[in-house]
Structure 1
Amino acid sequence: MEIVVDSHTHTIASGHAYSTILENAQASKAKGLKLLCTTDHAPEMPGAPHYWFFNNQRILPRFLHDVGILRGCEANTLNTDGDLDLPPSSYQHLDWIIASFHEPVFAPSTEELHTEALINVIKKGKADVLGHLGNPNFPFDIKAVLECAKEHNVAIEINNTSLTGKSRKGSDSRCAQIVEIGKEVGVYFTTGSDAHFCEEIAHLDLAKALLKKYGVDEEKVISTSTSRFLNFLLLRGKERIEEFAELY
């Protein structure tokens, strides 16, 4: 399984990452990626940039170092109503929205409340993908959430950093359950390095191995081709990106 899109990466703008968008793009080219999603943390995360940072992403060139740039954000799930921490004006400027739980923004609670929050995030229609769901601090009803994600065409991220044991320790077993149930349900998956330094870009081997272990069809892994990824965005109701015409 070849991966040509890294759908979760951070720059120095996130406050606790160490590379620029240019350095990330250069690393992406060196590692053979075709598309790079730049997804810095949304404003409620401590150290994150102001919302103008996201609204102004329209000035980013569509290609940096010959790698297509998808303008994105890792938004924070704020509450059980499924609200995210981006103002309405931001969405029109962004191609790719990850919704994630982060402990400083959403205090870990019960499985029932986590499930309610995730289902409401999906139903509100702002999130294109649910990020690093394996975090053991946020247990949820996996089948219920994944069935809802399938119904609303929201992708499920397999986060490589979660599988390394360096962050969100204990995620590996839950990620395995998510992949196993996700294959059964028929969700779309994507793969993100969650890079906070340019050398981590395209570190996706653990995610690939997990998807392979459970026999997930490549057609259900949208990061395996530019066409799959960009057409998934169309499925989500996003506008066609004309600069990427040859990649559809």
Structure 2
Amino acid sequence: MKYELDIHTHTIASGHAYNTLQEMIYAAKEKGLKLLGVSEHAIAMPGTCHLFYFHNLKVVDRHYDDLELMLGAEVNIIGYNGELDLDEETLEGLDYAIASLHTPCLAAGTMEQNTNAYIKAMENPHINVIGHPDDSRFPVDYEQFVLAAKENHVLIEINNGSLNPKGFRQNTRENDITILNLCKKYNVPVCLNSDAHVASDIGNTTFIDPLLDETNFPEELIINTSVDKFKLFLSNK
């Protein structure tokens, strides 16, 4: 299956990634992507960029020959009622926003607390994607989660980095299979992302693709197959 976009990537601005923005753009072009999304970690993540970084994204060109660039953020959920670490003004200036749970930014709660944190974040009109909701360190009621994504018009991410055997998230394969089966059942689209922290990893779905085959996941529910499909989804939020 041919994918046109990868919207969860990080540059050196995030503090623990290894390539510049220009290097990421070059790699995305070399891999034949039509759209690259760069989503630096927002301000609650230790070592990441300052708030001013997100306010100055307007200076960056968005077109590089055949490649379009979108600049967003991986926003941290910092409370069980969906509180985020970027304010409304900052979120409004982004091309898109991914909301994620990270252990340095919020201690794992109960299943009820974690599920509520995700659902309340989805209700924010500026949140377009929930990032890597597959980590058993943050147990989630996945049926409630998937239904809330459908109701709030939010994409659920299937994260290639989570599935990497060298990764630190727990039980991700089993959780992603559960998520994919529920998304298929309820007709909820997903976004396949690399979570690349190095340029060579952009567009990588090596660990995702076998799960799509195993679950017989429908192509029409994969947003990455078309830039137009992705943009239409964003415009309907």
Normalised TM-score (structure 1): 0.92
| Deviation digits for residues 176-198 of structure 1 (CA, Å, limit 9, x no counterpart) | 11111111111110011000010
Matching residue of 1:149: 149
1:49 matched to 2:49? The reply is yes
Alpha-carbon separation, structure 2, partners of 1:28 and 1:65:
12
Seq. identity, %: 38
Matching residue of 2:215: 214
Alpha-carbon separation, structure 2, partners of 1:202 and 1:190:
12
Matching residue of 1:111: 111
1:94 matched to 2:94? The reply is yes
Alpha-carbon separation, structure 1, partners of 2:124 and 2:4:
29
Alpha-carbon separation, structure 2, partners of 1:123 and 1:97:
13
Matching residue of 1:12: 12
1:124 alignment partner, SS class? coil
1:157 alignment partner, SS class? strand
Matching residue of 2:60: 60
**Contact 2:111–2:138 (8 Å) recurs in 1:** yes
Alpha-carbon separation, structure 2, partners of 1:204 and 1:95:
23
Structure-2 change in CA distance of 1:172 and 1:206 (3 Å): same
Alpha-carbon separation, structure 1, partners of 2:170 and 2:216:
25
- The residue type paired with residue 225 of structure 1 is S
Size of the aligned set, in residue pairs, is 236
Alpha-carbon separation, structure 2, partners of 1:54 and 1:172:
33
1:184 matched to 2:203? The reply is no
1:126 alignment partner, SS class? coil
**Contact 2:137–2:170 (8 Å) recurs in 1:** no
**Contact 1:22–1:64 (8 Å) recurs in 2:** no
Alpha-carbon separation, structure 1, partners of 2:156 and 2:116:
17
- The residue type paired with residue 136 of structure 1 is S
Alpha-carbon separation, structure 1, partners of 2:136 and 2:229:
30
Alpha-carbon separation, structure 2, partners of 1:204 and 1:115:
26
Alpha-carbon separation, structure 2, partners of 1:154 and 1:208:
22
* 1:157, distance to aligned residue in structure 2 (A): 0.3
Matching residue of 2:76: 76
**Contact 2:158–2:208 (8 Å) recurs in 1:** yes
**Please, which runs of 5 or more residues in structure 2 have no aligned partner?**
none
**Contact 2:15–2:47 (8 Å) recurs in 1:** yes
Matching residue of 1:128: 128
Matching residue of 2:32: 32
**Contact 2:38–2:71 (8 Å) recurs in 1:** yes
**Contact 1:193–1:202 (8 Å) recurs in 2:** yes
Matching residue of 1:235: 236
- The residue type paired with residue 3 of structure 2 is I
Matching residue of 1:240: none
* 1:65, distance to aligned residue in structure 2 (A): 5.3
1:206 alignment partner, SS class? coil
**Please, which runs of 5 or more residues in structure 1 have no aligned partner?**
237-248
* 1:140, distance to aligned residue in structure 2 (A): 0.6
Alpha-carbon separation, structure 2, partners of 1:47 and 1:4:
31
| Deviation digits for residues 73-125 of structure 1 (CA, Å, limit 9, x no counterpart) | 00000101111111222122211100000001010121111011111111222
**Contact 1:222–1:229 (8 Å) recurs in 2:** yes
2:207 alignment partner, SS class? helix
**Contact 1:165–1:171 (8 Å) recurs in 2:** no
- The residue type paired with residue 228 of structure 1 is K
